[in-house]
Amino acid sequence: MTEHAAANTTRFAPSPTGRLHVGNIRTALHNWMLARKSGGRFLLRIDDTDAARSREEYVDAIRADLDWLGLSPDGEERQSERLSLYDGAFEALKEAGRIYPAYETAQELEVKRKIQLGRGKPPIYDRAALALSDADRGAIEVPGVQPHWRFLLDHDEPITWDDGIRGPQKFDAAQLSDPVIRRADGSWLYMLPSAVDDLEMGITDVLRGEDHVSNTAVQIQMFTALIAAQHQDSQMPRFAHEALLVGKEGKLSKRLGSLGCDAFRERDIEPAAIIALLARLGTSQPVEPIADRDALLESFDLGTFSRAPARFDDTDLARINTAIVHQFDYSDVVDRLPAGMDEAGWHAIRPNLETVSDAGELWRVVTGPIEQPKFSDEDRAFLAQATEALEWSENPWATLTATLKAQTGRKGKALFLPLRQALTGMNHGPDMSELLPLIGKQEARGRLQRAAS
């Protein structure tokens, strides 16, 4: 799955029942990278067959979040507009004997599961519905009871595939329940529509979380049945299942389920930082502040993915974000900077920023007003001397400090700190050689005079 001569077609298939969270984003990103590295296509499929829970506002939010992250798809499909395809597949599988009606209620199925567990057996559906005769089914349906429908697994053949991350996989179909694919009200569950879409959309690679491994085992038989019944010229996709994200404590975190693009935007986290972290999280490659997506794509390889849980840590994201902000040129951020800040201003304050939004606070050091600390009598006398010594040269800070060092004998902290405090109101911050010219001679002299008085 890592290297192919042909271009890959991947898909990201969220249900619009909520906002994307960091786990969804990681899945979308890796599918985007798998497609882009081969020059292929990355498709968005909105899985909105659950009409009761799907919301159009979430569809819009999913599109907006992908766009903000720079993961815009090459095409989009909506399952709610593809229902006729699922009906056709359903009828074809029914005719082939791979679908059968079942009538147990949820409560009856739960009782069966408890009995099997009590006997030390796996809670697999017992296929009781297959033993019903036409007369039995007719009698059940007389009061208006409608069946739900199950896909009939073939127990004679083991289910195998070479997983792009987990390696060779093997399942005994007899140890799996025949999955319900359609409810009694005619609505669809996930399994069959997803398989139909993957064939119809020409998906070559399905990359998703390891919680779908058993789904893949079932769907492989669905793909085989669909190809035999409808799509003789189609090929089954390749599969890869990546480890799920966990919190830094090593446990699945509820917070990860709510941590999405809105939360990142509120903290002024850069999309490039999110991409740099999630691109390599859970792989053997180092997580680095790489803003160049081509470089990330070049190193993307499913062979480097680990089967161990991938740990998401906010402190790593903040660290990467800061490092990426420090890489930004003025042109990258000019429309996000406070009024009046030019390229020299950005260059001066950039090394002291954690986020781009911090620029406004630091820029006030230049524009004022600033709040100065109280100075000792000795420091006020020193600052009065600095007021007289201030000369405007190519590097006024170097000239000023050299002059004062020669005049007063001060050096190190005793020389630099009172000057910085008087000129910026801060104990530390941007390089004064770059900052002082931005403050300007008149304002700088005024600040020194106020501090000395």
**Distance from C-alpha of 362 to C-alpha of 163, rounded to nearest angstrom:** 51
C-alpha 102/C-alpha 146 separation (Å) is: 9
254 is in an annotated binding site: yes
The Cα–Cα gap between 224 and 159 comes to 11
- Tell me which residue has tokens 């567990």: 117
DSSP-derived letter for residue 119 is T
CB 182 within 8 A of CB 148: yes
Terminal-to-terminal C-alpha distance of the chain: 73
Secondary-structure percent of the chain, ordered helix, strand, coil, rounded to 5: 50, 10, 35
Please give the single-letter amino acid code of residue 341: M
How far is CA 430 from each of CA 219, 270, 335, 366, 427, rounded to the nearest angstrom? 58, 22, 21, 11, 10
**Residue 228: Cβ within 10 Å count:** 13
Task: Provide the token pair at 25.
Answer: 């984003």
Tokens 């409560």, residue?
107
CA distance 96 to 151: 11
Torsion of CA 383, 388, 393, 398, to 10 degrees: -30
Cα 442 to the chain's mean position, in Å? 49
Residues 6+ apart with CB under 8 A from 135: none
Q: What whole-number distance in Å separates Cα of residue 183 and Cα of residue 334? A: 54
Helix spans in 122-179 (H): 134-141
270 in Cβ contact with 289 (< 8 Å): no
Q: Which residues, 6+ apart, have CB-to-CB distance to 215 below 8 Å?
A: 190, 191
**β-pairing verdict for 310-311 and 180-182:** unpaired
Residues at the binding site are 254
Residues at the binding site for ATP are 254
